[in-house]
Amino acid sequence: MNPTDYENDEMLFLEEDDSNVEEYDEADAWQVLVVDDDEEIHSVTRLALSDLVLNGRKLAFLDAYSGEEALQIMAERGQDIAIVLLDVVMESDDAGLMVAKKMREDLNLHEPRIILRTGQPGYAPEESVIKEYDINDYKTKTELTRSKLVTTIIASLRSYQQILTINQSRQGLQKIIESASNLLEEHSVKGFCEGVVTQISSLLGLDAGGVVCARAGSVLDRDDDGVYVLGAAGPFANYINEKLENLHDKKITVEVAKCLQEKDHIYGKDYTVLYMNSSGYEAAVYIQVGCSINVIYKQLIEVFMSSISVGYENVNLFHQLRNAAFKDMLTKLPNRNEFINMLDDLENTGVDINEHVVALVDVNHFSDINDGLGQDAGNLLLIAIAERLHTAMGDVVKMGRIGADVFGLIGKDDKVNPQSISKVFSTPFKAGDHTLPINVTMGLCRLLDEESNGLNVLKQSNIALNRAKRSMTANYEYYAPEMEEKTTWRLGMIRQLRSDFAERKLELWYQPQVDLVNERIVGMEALLRWPDKDGGYISPAVFVPLAEYSGLIIDIGAWVLEEACRKLKLLHQKGFPDLRVAVNISMPQFRDSQFVSLVKSALVEHDITPSLLELEITESVVMDEPQIVVDSLKELKAFGLTIAIDDFGTGFSSMSYLQKLPLDRLKVDRSFVNEVTPGKSAFIAETIVTLGNKLGLHTIAEGIEKREQASYMLRLGCDEAQGFLYAKPMPFDQLIEFLDNYQPLEGK
C-alpha cells in the first residue's frame, strides 16, 4: 500500500475502521513503545495516533524516558511490542542507537519494528547502522506530522505483521519436521495418536486436549462399524480404546462422524476436526480450540496432517504385525503369547494378585464338531463362545484363546470359578445353521504372588486341565503343587516304561483259574509284570494306566497277546491241551484299526483254537466308546474267541450295552468276594452270579483267598474262581512246575 493513499487524514481512519470503536479489545491492541526523554513527545504521539485502527486492532502505548528504561520494558514485554518509536539522543548522544543494538543483539528481539526519531536535523546515523539493527524508518521530529506519523506507523505495522507470520510459519514447519520424526519412531497406535494430539496442540499453542478417533474398520482389532478413541490427551485421556459415544459429548460424536464421512477437515468456530487417511487407515482428530483458527495455522496443520498420515499408516502396519504375533485372528482375542504377557503384566497393574484366578476352558469334543459339521461351523462356534464369555464375564475378566478349542480367563475368584463358567455353557450355541449344546472342561489355578511367571501359571493351569479331563467325576480341577510332582513323576515313568519295553524287560505272568466244582485248572489269566531296579515289580495297576495314557499300551498289548498265545501253545504241547488263557485288553487297543486282525493272526500263527483265548475287558471300556468295542468284539466272537467282563460290578455298565455285547463270562470283582466272611452273605456277589445265570453267562470269582469264599461262591452257582487260595500270578517256568504238581483241592 502506498502511504500517499493516506494524505487525507479523515479517510485514513475510516478506511481501517468501519466498526464501532467501543468494541475493540484492549488486550488485542498493537503495542507501541515510545522512547523519548521529552515528555511532550509522548503526549503528542499518543494524541496523533489515538484513533488509529489497523486490522481491527487499536494501538496501545508503553512509555520509556531513557534508553535504559526502554531496554527494561523490552526485557519484560518484548514479545508483545510491535513498534518502537525511538529517540536517538537521550542520556547520551547515541542512547537510541544503543537501544536498537541491544534489543536486537542482547534481547534477541527481531520482530518489533524500529522508527528512529531525532530532534536534530542532519544528525543521521550511518546507513550501516540502519541495516544492521533492522531499523524501518528514520525521521526528524519535525518531519513527523500527524499524517506522516500515521502512514509510517501503518507501514511498520504491516511489515511487523508479515515478519510475525513468516516467523510463525517457519517455527511451525520446524515443529512439523520435529514432531513428524518423533512420531515416526512411535510404534504403537495409541502412542502415535497421543503424539498427534500433543503435536497439534503445540502447533496451535494450546494446552494438549483433543481426541483422535478412528473408524473401527480401519483398526484391525475390531470388526464393527463403531468409532473408537485411539488416542487422547487432557480431559479425554481416560477414554482411550472406548467407543466414541462413551465420551457423552454429542458435538464431538457428530462432528467426528461428519469428518469421517466427508473425508475432510472441519474448521468450526471453537473446534477443529482434522481428517487423516493413509491407504485406508482413517482417523479424525478432534481439537477443542478457544477461537477459530487462522489461515496460516490451517495451512500448517494441513501440511502436518499430510506428513503424518504416512506415519499413521506405518504405525497401523506395525500394529498389524504385532497383532499377527499376539492376537488370534478368528476371535480377535489375545493369543497364547499375549495371554502369557497379560499374566506377566498383571503384577504391574497394581491389582491384588492373590484374589485372581486363571481358568483354561476346553471345549469338549470340538474336533467332532469340526470334522462333522465342517470348519466353518467350528469357527463360528468358537466366535460365539468368545462373545458369550465376554458378555457374561465383562471387561473385568481378561480373555484369550490359548489353543484351538481352549480359552483362557484371568479374573477375580467371584467371576472366574467353575460355577460361573459352567453357567455360560448351560444353553446351546448357535453356529451358522446349527444349534449346538456344548460342554467344557476347566483347569483353574489360583495366582499367588510368589515367583509365578505367566508361562508357569499357564503350565500349571494346563496340568489342572489335563487332570480334569481324566477325571470321571468332575469337569474341573484346581491346580495343586502335588499334581506337578505327579506329572513329572508320570513323565519319567512313561519314559522308563518305553525304554524297558523296547529292551524286552516286561514279563508276562500267569495266574491259574479253576473250576469251582472240581477245582481243576481250566486256564489262566496273563498279567503283566514290570521289574524295577531293586528286584521288585511295579504293579500293573500303576503302570498300565500310564501305558494307556501314553499310547504305549497298543504295542505292549500286542506283545501280550502274542506272548500269551505262544506260551499257551507251549502248554498245549507240554500236555495241557485244554487250558485257555485270558488276556486283558484296554480301550486304546480297540481304537487301533489293526486290533481285530492282530488278534486273529496271533491265534493263527500259534495254531490256537480261538475258543481258548479269552479277552477281558472292563466295564469302563464298554462305556467309553460302545460302538467300536461292540463291532470289534462281535467280529472276534464270530471268529470263536470268548469274552469276559472284568471287575464286574465296579463300573457303570448300562444293562442295554451288556445285552448288546457278545459276552461269555462275568468276572465278579474281588471287592465283592471280599465281603464274603464267615456267617455273612455277600449281596452284590450273589446278584452278579444270579444276573450271569439269567443272561446265560458263565461267572468267575476273582480274588478268592479263603476256603469259605470259594464254598460260598460255589453255593451261589458261580462256575469258576481265581485267587491266592489256588495260586498267585507266577512266571511261566513256575507255572509249568505248578501245573505239573497241582492236585485239585477236592477232598482236602
- DSSP single-letter state for residue 80: G
Decide if residue 616 touches Mg ion (CB under 5 A): yes
- DSSP single-letter state for residue 677: -
Nearer to Mg ion, 546 or 585 (CB): 585
Nearer to ligand C2E, 464 or 528 (CB): 528
Cβ-based neighbours of 51, under 8 Å, separated by 6 or more: 13, 17, 21
Cβ-based neighbours of 700, under 8 Å, separated by 6 or more: 513, 644, 665, 666, 667, 668, 718, 719, 720, 721, 722
User: What, of ligand C2E, Mg ion, none, does residue 692 touch, CB below 5 to 8 Å by kind?
Assistant: none
Residue 547 beta carbon to ligand C2E: minimum distance, rounded to whole angstroms: 8
User: What, of Mg ion, ligand C2E, none, does residue 527 touch, CB below 5 to 8 Å by kind?
Assistant: ligand C2E
Nearer to Mg ion, 194 or 702 (CB): 702
- The three cell numbers locating residue 490: 508320570
- Which residue has cell 491259574? 512
- CA quadruple 339, 344, 349, 353: dihedral sign: positive
Residue among 646, 686, 719, 720 that touches ligand C2E (CB under 6 A)? 646
Decide if residue 31 touches ligand C2E (CB under 6 A): no
Nearer to ligand C2E, 236 or 509 (CB): 509
**What single letter denotes the amino acid at residue 468?**
A
Q: Contacts from 707-711 at CB under 8 Å and sequence distance 24+?
A: 708/676, 708/677, 708/678, 709/673, 709/676, 710/516
Decide if residue 584 touches ligand C2E (CB under 6 A): yes
In angstroms, the CA 716 to CA 356 distance is: 58
How many helices and strands, by DSSP H and E, does the chain display?
Answer: 26, 27
In angstroms, the CA 713 to CA 121 distance is: 145
Size of the site for ligand C2E (CB under 6 A): 25
Nearer to ligand C2E, 282 or 619 (CB): 619
Residue 549 beta carbon to ligand C2E: minimum distance, rounded to whole angstroms: 13
Nearer to ligand C2E, 236 or 595 (CB): 595
Strand runs (DSSP E) across 91-170, as ranges?
113-118, 135-140
Residue 409 beta carbon to ligand C2E: minimum distance, rounded to whole angstroms: 38
Decide if residue 511 touches ligand C2E (CB under 6 A): yes
Decide if residue 646 touches Mg ion (CB under 5 A): yes
Among 44-52, 243-251, 268-276, 583-591, the segment contacting ligand C2E (CB under 6 A): 583-591
- The three cell numbers locating residue 427: 444353553
Residue among 647, 686, 719, 720 that touches ligand C2E (CB under 6 A)? 647
CB atoms inside a 10 Å sphere around CB 74: 24
Residue among 54, 212, 560, 721 that touches ligand C2E (CB under 6 A)? 560
- DSSP single-letter state for residue 537: E
Nearer to Mg ion, 87 or 525 (CB): 525
- The three cell numbers locating residue 710: 470259594
- DSSP single-letter state for residue 376: H
Among 458-466, 616-624, 689-697, 706-714, the segment contacting Mg ion (CB under 5 A): 616-624
Residue 658 beta carbon to Mg ion: minimum distance, rounded to whole angstroms: 17
User: What, of ligand C2E, Mg ion, none, does residue 255 touch, CB below 5 to 8 Å by kind?
Assistant: none
User: What, of Mg ion, ligand C2E, none, does residue 541 touch, CB below 5 to 8 Å by kind?
Assistant: ligand C2E
Decide if residue 729 touches ligand C2E (CB under 6 A): yes
In angstroms, the CA 91 to CA 14 distance is: 39
Residue 714 CB-half CA count within 13 A: 15
Among 165-173, 328-336, 467-475, 578-586, the segment contacting ligand C2E (CB under 6 A): 578-586
Residue among 64, 399, 703, 710 that touches ligand C2E (CB under 6 A)? 703
In angstroms, the CA 134 to CA 119 distance is: 21
Decide if residue 335 touches ligand C2E (CB under 6 A): no
User: What, of ligand C2E, Mg ion, none, does residue 67 touch, CB below 5 to 8 Å by kind?
Assistant: none
- Which residue has cell 515478519? 163
User: What, of ligand C2E, Mg ion, none, does residue 688 touch, CB below 5 to 8 Å by kind?
Assistant: none
In angstroms, the CA 187 to CA 315 distance is: 5
**Residue 544 near residue 488, CB atoms below 8 Å:** no
Estimate the share of the chain in helix, then strand, then coil, as percent rounded to the nearest 5.
50, 20, 30
Decide if residue 527 touches ligand C2E (CB under 6 A): yes
Among 163-171, 220-228, 493-501, 696-704, the segment contacting ligand C2E (CB under 6 A): 696-704
- DSSP single-letter state for residue 715: H
Buried b (16+ CB within 10 A) or exposed e, 4-43: eebeeeeebbeebbeeeeeebeeeebbbbbbbbbeeebbe
- Which residue has cell 502274542? 562
Decide if residue 584 touches Mg ion (CB under 5 A): yes
Decide if residue 514 touches ligand C2E (CB under 6 A): no
Nearer to Mg ion, 255 or 646 (CB): 646
CA distances (Å), origin 177, targets 170, 172, 189: 11, 9, 20
Residue 723 beta carbon to ligand C2E: minimum distance, rounded to whole angstroms: 3
User: What, of Mg ion, ligand C2E, none, does residue 338 touch, CB below 5 to 8 Å by kind?
Assistant: none
Residue among 338, 519, 563, 647 that touches Mg ion (CB under 5 A)? 647
Among 136-144, 285-293, 355-363, 608-616, the segment contacting Mg ion (CB under 5 A): 608-616
**What single letter denotes the amino acid at residue 353?**
I
Residue among 528, 579, 613, 621 that touches ligand C2E (CB under 6 A)? 528
Residue among 325, 472, 541, 655 that touches ligand C2E (CB under 6 A)? 541
Nearer to ligand C2E, 342 or 697 (CB): 697
**Residue 742 near residue 734, CB atoms below 8 Å:** no
Residue 616 beta carbon to ligand C2E: minimum distance, rounded to whole angstroms: 6
Q: Are strands 580-584 and 521-531 parallel, antiparallel or unpaired?
A: parallel
**Residue 442 near residue 467, CB atoms below 8 Å:** no
User: What, of Mg ion, ligand C2E, none, does residue 540 touch, CB below 5 to 8 Å by kind?
Assistant: ligand C2E
| Site residues for Mg ion per CB under 5 A | 584, 616, 646-647, 702
Binding interface with ligand C2E (CB under 6 A): 511, 526-528, 539-541, 544, 557, 560, 584-586, 616, 646-647, 670, 702-705, 722-724, 729
